[in-house]
DNA sequence: TATGAATGAGCTTTCATTCAT
DNA sequence: CATGAATGAAAGCTCATTCAT
C-alpha cells in the first residue's frame, strides 16, 4: 500500500470510528452527515469524498465492527485455555466492545431497511461467521460434557441478547467499571451453560 | 364513558396499535405519519385529530405497551404458584408479548432523544414498576434459597436483554412456534437462576 | 323580518363582532376559524352555517365596520354645529371607534389579496362613501375660509393615517383615557387645517 | 471582512430586501418562504442556508429597515439647517423610504405575535432610538418657540401615522411623483407644528 | 482533496372546508 | 341547526446529495 493509500485508509477509519459512535447514539435516521462531519471537524463534502453515501458509511461501519469482533473472538479461540475459559473470555471481550462502542446492536437492527440485498448478504455472512465462533465453542463444550445439552442457536441468541442489552442499562458512573460488569455478565451467563452448577 | 368517548378511545387504541407495529419495524425517525395513517387506511390529518403530534403518538404507544406488560406480570404475580413458576411464566408472557408486538425494545432505545423530561419521568416510573415486579420475584426466590444469590439488578437486566433480543432472530417460519420459543427461552434463563441445576 | 330571520341576523352579527375583534388582533391569516368559533363557544361547523367561508366572514366584517363608521359620520354631519366642530367631532368618533374595535385598519390592508373583484368594488364604494363624508366637510371648510386651502384628498389621507395609527401606540394603561386621546388627536390635526392658528 | 464574508453579507441583504417587499405586500402570515425565494430565483433551501427560519428572516428585515431609517434621520439631524428644515427633511426622507420599500408599518403590526421577548426588546430599542430622533427635533423646536407647545409623543405618533399611511393610498400612476407627495405630506404636517401659521 | 452554496425530495404540521349524522 | 370526524392542500423546515471552484 502506498503512502497515499495508507493516508486514505487512515482517514476512512477515523470517519468510520466517529460514525459508529454517533450512529450508536442517535440511530441511523437520527444521525445527519453534518453530525458525523462536524464531529471530525470536517465538512460534509469531505466525508463524501471517502464514502459514496450515507448508506455506504453505515454499511462500512457495520462491517468494521463485525470484523473487529470476529478478530477478537478468533484470537481467543486459538488460545490454549479450557473451553469454559474460551467462552467466558469471548463474552467478556464482546461486552467490553459493546460498551466501548456504545453500540453493538443499534446498528444491527432491521438491516433490511438500510442495506441492499448484496450488502445484507455480506453482512449476514459476517454475522454468521461471528455467530459460528460462539456456536463452535458451545458445541465443543456440549460434546465435552462441560456444557448442558442446550439448543446451540437458541443459547447463543440468548447470550447475544443479554450481552448487547448492556448498553441500555450500564452507566459509567455506577459502582462497577466496564471490566467488572463484563465479568459479572459473563459469569452469570455461564451458569446457564455449565453443568453441575 | 359515553358512546362517543368509547369510540374515540377505540380509535386511539387502533392507531396506537398500528403505530407500535410500524415504529417497531422502522424506528421512530424512520416512521412517517403517512406510514401510520396509511396502514389504517386513514389520512395523516385524521391521525392528527387524535394525537397532538408524532411525539405524542410515540409516547402513548410506549406507555400503552408498558402498562399492558405491567398488567400481565401483576396478574401472574398474584397467582398461587411456586416462585419458580412465577418467574418462568412471567418470562413466557413477556417473550410472547414482545414477539406479538414485534417490539419490546426498539421503543425503549434512547428515550432521551424523543421525550420531554416530564414524559421520560413518567416512562421511567412505569419501567421501574415493571422491573420491580421481576426484582421482587427474584428477591423472593433468593431468600427462599430457590435461586442463586445473584445481583438482582444485573440478573434482571440479563433476562430482559435475552428476552427482548428475540425480535432479532425469531421468525415465524421456523420449526418452533411462539409459545415453544418463549418456553425454551424461559427455561434456559431459569438455569441461570436456579440452584442445584 | 320574521322571528327566525331576526334570530339568524342576530347570530350573524354576534359572529361578525367576535370575528372583527380577533381578526384585528391576529390578522386575517393568523386567525383560524377555530379561534372565531371557540370565542363564541360554537363549533367551526356552526360558523359555516352562517357564512359561506372565511373570506365571506372577513368581507362582511369589513363591511359592517365601514357601514357603522359611515352611520357615525353621517349622524354628525347633519347636526347643527359649526364646520369646525363637525370635523373635530367626526375625528373623535373615528378614533374612539378604532380604539374600541382595536381595528380600523388592519382590516383595510391590501384588500386585493383577500377579496374578489366584486367584493373589492363594493368595499371601495363604501370606503369612498366614508372618505367622501370627510372630503365634504373639508371642502366646505375651505370654501367658508375656515380651513386652509389644502388638497382635500391628501389632507384627508393624512387625517386617516394619523387616526388609524392610534392602535399602534395607545395603551389603556396610560395617563389619558380613550376620550381624551381622541380629543387630543383631533385637536392637533385641526391645527393643520384651521386658518389663523 | 473577507471576500467570502462580503458575498454572504451581500446575499443576505438581497434576500432581506426581497423579503421586506413581499412581507409588506402580503403580510407575515401571507408570505411563504417559497414566495421570497422564487422572487430571487432561488429555492427555499437556499434561503434556509442564510436564515435559520422564517421568523429570523422577518426579524432581520425589520431590523434592517429600522437601522436604515435611523441612519437617514441621524444624517439629517447633524446638518447645519434650521430646526424647521430638519423636521421637514426628516419627514420627506421617511415618506420616500416608506414608499420605496412599500413597507414602513406592515412589519410593525403586532410584533408580540412574531418575535421572541429578546427580539422584541431589541426592536423596541431601535424604534425608541428612531422615535427619539424625531422627539428631539420637536423638543428643540418647541424650546426655540418655533413649534407649538404640543405633547411631543402624541405629535410624533400623529406624524408617523400620517406618513406610514401613505402606502395605503399613494399609487405611482398619480399626478404627483414620490418626491412631490413626500414634500406635500411634510408641508401639511408642518402646519400642525409651526407657530404663526 | 476539500469547501460550501445550492437543490429538491420528503417530512411534520396546520387548517379551511365538507359531510354524514 | 349543530356537531365533530375526516380530508387534502399547502406551509415550514430538514437533510442527503451534488458540483463548481
Per-residue three-class SS string for A112-150: HHHCCHHHHHHHHHHHHHHHHHHHHHHHHHHHCCCECCC
pLDDT confidence bin for D160, thresholds 50/70/90: very high
Residue contact B27–A162, C-beta within 8 A: no
d(CA D187, CA D195): 14
Tell me which DSSP letter residue A107 carries: G
Grid coordinates belonging to C25: 388582533
What is the model's pLDDT at position A114? 81
d(CA C117, CA B189): 78
What is the model's pLDDT at position B185? 98
Q: Does the CB of A174 have a partner CB in chain B at under 8 Å? A: no
Q: Residue C168: its chain D contacts at CB < 8 A?
A: 105, 108-109, 157, 161
Residues B83, B146: contact at Cβ < 8 Å? yes
What is the model's pLDDT at position D146? 96
What is the model's pLDDT at position B108? 61
Å from C26 (CA) to E16 (C1')?
Answer: 17
pLDDT higher than threshold 90 for residue B113: no
Instruction: Give pLDDT tens digits for C71-123.
Output: 999 999 999 999 999 999 999 999 999 998 877 555 566 767 788 888 889 98
Q: How many residues does chain D have?
A: 197
Q: Which of D25, D169, D197 sits opposite C157 (nearest CB)?
A: D169
Residue contact D161–C166, C-beta within 8 A: yes
Mean pLDDT value across residues C53-69: 91
What is the model's pLDDT at position C107? 54
Instruction: Give pLDDT tens digits for D69-94.
Output: 999 999 999 999 999 999 999 999 99
List b or e across A74-109, with b for residues whose CB sees 16 or more CB atoms inside 10 angstroms: eebbeeeeebbebbbbbbbbbbbbbbebebbbbbbb
Instruction: Give pLDDT tens digits for B79-89.
Output: 999 999 999 99
All structural domains of chain B: 54-193 (1.10.357.10)
What is the model's pLDDT at position B106? 56
What is the model's pLDDT at position A105? 55
Å from C49 (CA) to E19 (C1')?
Answer: 13
Instruction: Give pLDDT tens digits for C113-167.
Output: 788 888 889 988 999 999 999 999 999 999 999 999 999 999 999 999 999 999 8
Residues A85, A148: contact at Cβ < 8 Å? no
Which of B22-36, B58-72, D1-15, D180-194 ranks highest by mean pLDDT? Answer: D180-194
Cα distance from C7 to chain D (closest Cα, Å)? Answer: 35
d(CA B23, CA B41): 17
Q: Residue B166: its chain A contacts at CB < 8 A?
A: 157, 161
Which residue from A minimizes the CA distance to B158? A162
What is the model's pLDDT at position D192? 98
**Shortest-distance nucleotide from D57 CA to C1':** F12
List Cβ neighbours of B22 (8 Å cut-off, separation of 6 or more). B31, B35, B36, B39
Grid coordinates belonging to C152: 382635500
Residue contact C150–D188, C-beta within 8 A: yes
Q: Determine which of B162, B164, B190 to mutate to test the interface with A (most A C-beta atoms within 10 Å).
A: B162
All chains having 3 or more CB pairs closer than 8 angstroms to chain B? A
Mean pLDDT value across residues C40-68: 92
What is the model's pLDDT at position D100? 87
Chain E bases having any atom below 7 Å from a protein CB: 1-20
How many Cβ atoms are within 10 Å of C196's Cβ, its own excluded?
8
Tell me which DSSP letter residue B194 carries: B
Per-residue pLDDT for chain A (197 aa), expressed as one digit of tens each?
A: 788 888 889 999 999 999 988 988 888 888 999 999 999 999 999 999 999 999 999 999 989 989 999 999 999 999 999 999 999 999 999 999 999 887 755 555 676 778 888 888 999 999 999 999 999 999 999 999 999 999 999 999 999 999 999 988 998 888 899 999 999 999 999 999 999 76
d(CA C69, CA C92): 12
Q: Determine which of C162, C174, C181, C186 to mutate to test the interface with D (most D C-beta atoms within 10 Å).
A: C162
What is the model's pLDDT at position D105? 56
Q: Does the CB of D29 have a partner CB in chain C at under 8 Å? A: yes
Instruction: Give pLDDT tens digits for C183-193.
Output: 999 999 999 99
Amino acid at each position: 500500500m502506498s503512502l497515499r493509500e495508507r493516508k486514505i485508509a487512515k482517514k476512512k477509519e477515523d470517519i468510520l470510528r466517529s460514525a459508529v459512535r454517533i450512529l450508536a447514539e442517535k440511530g441511523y435516521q437520527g444521525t445527519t452527515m453534518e453530525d458525523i462531519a462536524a464531529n471530525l471537524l470536517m465538512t460534509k463534502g469531505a466525508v463524501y469524498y471517502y464514502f459514496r453515501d450515507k448508506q455506504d458509511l453505515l454499511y462500512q461501519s457495520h462491517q468494521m465492527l463485525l470484523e473487529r469482533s470476529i478478530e477478537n473472538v478468533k484470537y481467543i479461540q486459538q488460545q490454549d485455555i479450557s473451553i469454559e475459559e474460551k467462552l467466558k473470555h469471548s463474552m467478556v471481550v464482546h461486552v467490553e466492545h459493546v460498551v466501548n462502542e456504545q453500540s453493538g446492536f443499534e446498528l444491527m437492527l432491521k438491516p433490511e431497511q438500510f442495506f441492499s440485498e448484496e450488502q445484507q448478504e455480506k453482512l449476514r455472512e459476517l454475522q454468521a461467521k461471528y455467530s459460528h465462533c460462539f456456536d463452535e465453542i458451545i458445541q465443543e463444550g456440549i460434546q465435552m460434557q462441560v456444557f448442558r445439552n442446550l439448543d446451540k442457536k437458541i443459547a447463543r441468541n440468548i447470550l447475544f441478547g443479554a450481552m448487547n442489552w448492556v448498553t441500555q442499562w450500564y452507566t459509567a458512573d455506577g459502582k462497577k467499571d466496564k471490566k467488572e460488569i463484563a465479568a459479572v455478565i459473563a459469569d452469570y451467563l455461564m451458569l446457564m451453560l455449565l453443568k453441575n452448577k
